[in-house]
C-alpha cells in the first residue's frame, strides 16, 4: 500500500543519512519529491536510485542558510508539481559540542541559520501553500539535544529546543486549517552529521560533562528506523497526531 500516493514533498538534507532514507521511503510510497542538499553528487546518486525504482524526483542544491535557496526549492515544487503537501526539515549541522563560554559568534550564527532560521523560513513558505489548500504536513527533525541539555553544545542544543517550540506553536496555531506539524527527536544515528564536528579541538568540559552520558546509549539507530516515523507522521495514519515530539533514541533519555 502506497501511503503517500500523488503527494508532493520537499525533503531537505536529502543527499545522505536520514534525509536520504526519508526521501527513498517517501518515493517508495508514491510521493513526488523535491530533494535538496548542499552536495550535488549525493543528490545525483539519490535521483538515480529513486528514478531507477520508478519514483519521481527533482533535485536542487540548496543551503538552508541562504534565503534565496529556500525560495528556489519552493519555486521548483510549484513549477514542477503545482503544489506542496509535505515539508520535511531535515538538514542540520552540529556545533563541536562547545559550551556557551567557548561558542564563537560565527558558529552560533551558522548553527542557528541552518538548524532554526532556515526551517522557519521553509515552514513559512509551506504554510502559505498549505493554508490555501486546507491541508498539509510539516515534519521537523530535531534531536534528543532538543529535549535534554547534555547531548551537544550550547548552539546546537538551543537550536533544537527552539525548533521543537516552533513545531508546537505551529501545530497548535494551524490545527483548524488542516495542517499538522510534528517533530522527531532522534538519538545517536549512523549518519554523516559528524562531518561537521571538529573532534580534534573539543573543550575539556565535553569530556567531563557530556561524554560520560554517551555510555548510556543502547546503540545508534540506522536512518531507516527513524525514516519509518517520518513516513507515519506524513501519512493519514497520523491524522490526529499534531504538535507532538516523537523521541526515537532507544531509551537513552529515559535514564
Residue 89 has pLDDT above 70, yes or no: yes
Q: What is the CA radius of gyration of the chain?
A: 17
Give the model's pLDDT for residue 125.
98
**What SS3 state is found at 134?**
coil
What percent of the chain stands above pLDDT 90? 89
Look at domain 8-248 and name its CATH class: alpha beta
Give the model's pLDDT for residue 198.
66
What percent of the chain stands above pLDDT 70? 97
Give the model's pLDDT for residue 195.
62
Give the model's pLDDT for residue 199.
66
**Whole-number mean pLDDT of the chain?**
95
List, for residues 42-64, the tens digit of each pLDDT value: 999 999 999 999 999 999 999 99
Give the model's pLDDT for residue 213.
85
Burial classification of residue 248, based on how many CB atoms lie within 10 Å of its CB (0-12 exposed, 13-18 middle, 19 or more buried):
middle
Q: Which of the following is catalytic: 81, 156, 172, 174?
A: 156
List, for residues 154-210, the tens digit of each pLDDT value: 999 999 999 999 999 999 999 999 999 999 999 999 987 666 666 667 788 888 888
Average pLDDT over residues 93-114: 96
Residue 156 appears among annotated catalytic residues: yes
Give the model's pLDDT for residue 197.
67
Q: Identify whether the C-beta of residue 50 lies closer than 8 Å to the C-beta of residue 56.
A: yes
Dist CA 126 CA 139 (whole Å)? 11
Give the model's pLDDT for residue 209.
86
List, for residues 206-247, the tens digit of each pLDDT value: 888 888 888 889 999 999 999 999 999 999 999 999 999 999
Measuring CA to CA, how many Å separate 81 from each of 9, 50, 74, 119? 10, 17, 10, 21
Domain ranges for the chain: 8-248
Q: Identify whether the C-beta of residue 202 lies closer than 8 Å to the C-beta of residue 221.
A: no
**What SS3 state is found at 136?**
strand
> What pTM did the predictor assign?
0.95
Among candidate residues 224, 222, 226, the one with its CA nearest the CA of residue 182: 226
Dist CA 190 CA 226 (whole Å)? 11
Amino acid at each position: 500500500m502506497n501511503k503517500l500516493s500523488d503527494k508532493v514533498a520537499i525533503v531537505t538534507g536529502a543527499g545522505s543519512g536520514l534525509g536520504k532514507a526519508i526521501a527513498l521511503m517517501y518515493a517508495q510510497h508514491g510521493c513526488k519529491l523535491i530533494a535538496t542538499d548542499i552536495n550535488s553528487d549525493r543528490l545525483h546518486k539519490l535521483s538515480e536510485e529513486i528514478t531507477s525504482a520508478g519514483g519521481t524526483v527533482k533535485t536542487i542544491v540548496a543551503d538552508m542558510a541562504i534565503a534565496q535557496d529556500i525560495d528556489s526549492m519552493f519555486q521548483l515544487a510549484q513549477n514542477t508539481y503545482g503544489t506542496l503537501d509535505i515539508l520535511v526539515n531535515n538538514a542540520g549541522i552540529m556545533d563541536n559540542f562547545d559550551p556557551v563560554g567557548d561558542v564563537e559568534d560565527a558558529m552560533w550564527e551558522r548553527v542557528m541559520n541552518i538548524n532554526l532560521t532556515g526551517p522557519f523560513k521553509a515552514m513559512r513558505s509551506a504554510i502559505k501553500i498549505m493554508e490555501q489548500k486546507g491541508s498539509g504536513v510539516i515534519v521537523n527533525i530535531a534531536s534528543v539535544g532538543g529535549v535534554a541539555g547534555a547531548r551537544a553544545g550550547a548552539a546546537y542544543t538551543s537550536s533544537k529546543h527552539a525548533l521543537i517550540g516552533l513545531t508546537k506553536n505551529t501545530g497548535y496555531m494551524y490545527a483548524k486549517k488542516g495542517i499538522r506539524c510534528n517533530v522527531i527527536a532522534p538519538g545517536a544515528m549512523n549518519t554523516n552529521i559528524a562531518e561537521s564536528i571538529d573532534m580534534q579541538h573539543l573543550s575539556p568540559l565535553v569530556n567531563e560533562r557530556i561524554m560520560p552520558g554517551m555510555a548510556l546509549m543502547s546503540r545508534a539507530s540506522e536512518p531507516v528506523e527513524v525514516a519509518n516515523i517520518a513516513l507515519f507522521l506524513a501519512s493519514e495514519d497520523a491524522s490526529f497526531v499534531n504538535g507532538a515530539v516523537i523521541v526515537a533514541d532507544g531509551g537513552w533519555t529515559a535514564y
